[in-house]
Amino acid sequence: MLPGLSSRHQSCTPFQGPGGSVDLSRFSLIEALIVMAIVGTLAAVAIGSYARWRASSTVMEAAQQFSQAVTTTRTGAKSTNTCWQIRLSAPLASATSYEIRHFPDETCTGTPTQEQTHALPRGTVIRLTGASSAGTNNVNFAPPYATTDPAPNTYLVQWSAAPSIRRTVRITSILGKVVVK
């Protein structure tokens, strides 16, 4: 027996209370490290999944925004009986915005009477792909039925940090039908 301690205190171990019962109010260092490792692993998986989901939903939002802009451009050309044009702000590279241009007559020549620039959601880019990417990136909607060029245009909307996250926007017919894939 150690001097100054009663027999009651000397019989205690780190995991037993004074009466020999197990004291559950304490954790060992190894138990705390195991819990921290499990929580850290779960957090790493959850943060990665959340970031990919967020990027995917932002790319979908950008594709839907551009698709709606094409539809709005076609509707504007029909309702005003003038030529309207939609085009990417950066013709041969990945653009972060697009322009809608209104012309004073039925041809898309001369100076537009109105130009509107629309930015895509942050972190997304859009570019023209396929055979049509060698030429101009303009899509003209001419009256009276707001038809467009006969060649279908295909646009690729991507997440700038991870190009594998993408959506395709395709203008499929001369009537300007838009398909987002």
Q: What are the tens digits of pLDDT across the range 18-49? A: 566 655 667 788 988 999 999 999 999 899 89
Indicate the average pLDDT of the chain. 83
Q: What is the CA radius of gyration of the chain?
A: 32
Q: What is the pLDDT of residue 109?
A: 85
- Does residue 170 have a pLDDT over 60? yes
Cβ contact 73:139 at 8 Å: yes
Q: What is the pLDDT of residue 17?
A: 53
Of 6-10, 87-91, 96-100, 104-108, minimum mean pLDDT range: 6-10
Give CA–CA dist 154/146, Å, rounded: 19
The model carries a pTM of 0.75
- Which tokens belong to 68? 């709606």
Give the closest residue to 86 by CA, choosing from 134, 45, 142: 142
CB atoms closer than 10 angstroms to residue 41? 10
Give CA–CA dist 92/137, Å, rounded: 8
Give CA–CA dist 115/79, Å, rounded: 17
Q: What is the pLDDT of residue 56?
A: 95
How does residue 134 score in pLDDT terms, banded at 50, 70 and 90? Answer: low
Q: What is the pLDDT of residue 107?
A: 85
